[in-house]
Structure 1
């Protein structure tokens, strides 16, 4: 049995939902997956020695990742590098199939460029538009971004672009990575 740690940053809850789906895929295969929010990892610490692999995931906020994600990878870059490891980026631009390719996803490429940790494996996962759940200024900013990228701008739109079978396959792939 493999034990896998998934560290994640989620702002509105969708990346946490995706992380639970990754955990479920791993658990269903008879392995153990622990998930921990980046903030918890930074405040409580992480015992990496008990894991066979680690994945780190985060949503994109206004074209970048939360500062705490960079703090985490800065603090734990050596521990992350010692284990088989992966990074997944959740972003709405990946609603377009060509943007799910890591080489074509500018947000993922920006993370790799700015991060002191260089993940062995990377994954892009399409996110969710949820205008009603967002604060008015987030909704307005994202509507402007969507208008520029031919995305949905209707303020009542709730569209989940996530391919959950692909997410489950990613989880099963983490088991193989741990082997």
Structure 2
């Protein structure tokens, strides 16, 4: 059985939710281990047949610890069959929902010493009631500017689960 490493750099949990769905889909023929890349874990990449990193955007940026993780393990990632996906609210809009059209993925590729062989981008979720006051106000402001939902009583999941399924199948066979 294949062993796959699933790493997350998540802020509010949607990236973990997506990785758990991927884990479920891969569980028939793979043993998957889920770890927090932001904790900068010590990893023996030789025990994994594939690696997948999922990372969320907060205030326009990926977590700095994700870049530290990639810097630390860039040679191992380059030598592995490794993929990447980005989760953000901008991807809820058509035309900003592919690796080629996502400014966040393009920024990641320009900053990262590792260039993933397989990538995607998924829309995240808006969980206003769960946010601290500052985050709720800031995200509401950003959503107002970008034409998104501003009702702070709402929770909206924008993730297209069929896209996640399609990506999982591409990842399984790459």
Please state which band the TM-score falls in when normalised by the shorter chain. over 0.9
Aligned to 1:162: 159
**TM alignment of 1:100-115, pairs within 5 A:** 100-115=97-112
Name the TM-score, length of structure 2 as normaliser.
Answer: 0.95
Cα deviation for residue 39 of structure 1 reads: 3.1
Runs of 4+, deviation exceeding 4 Å: none
When the two structures are aligned, how many residues end up with a matched partner?
174
Give the structure with the larger helix fraction: 1
- Runs of at least 5 residues in structure 1 that lack an aligned partner in the other structure: none
What is the DSSP-based 3-state SS (H/G/I as helix, E as strand, rest coil) of the residue aligned with 1:4?
Answer: strand
Aligned to 2:84: 87
Aligned to 2:73: 76
Separation in structure 2 between the aligned mates of residue 35 and residue 172 of structure 1, nearest angstrom: 18
Name the TM-score, length of structure 1 as normaliser.
Answer: 0.93
**Pairwise CA RMSD of aligned residues?**
1.2
Contact kept in structure 2, 1:4 and 1:175, CA below 8 Å: no
Structure number with higher relative contact order (C-alpha < 8 Å, ≥ 6 residues apart): 1
Q: 1:122 aligns with which of 116, 119, 127?
A: 119
Contact kept in structure 1, 2:118 and 2:171, CA below 8 Å: no
| 1:55-79 residue CA offsets vs partner (Å, 9 max, x unmatched) | 1111001000111101100000100
| 1:77-113 residue CA offsets vs partner (Å, 9 max, x unmatched) | 1000101111100001111121111111111111111
Cα deviation for residue 165 of structure 1 reads: 2.4
Aligned to 2:35: 36
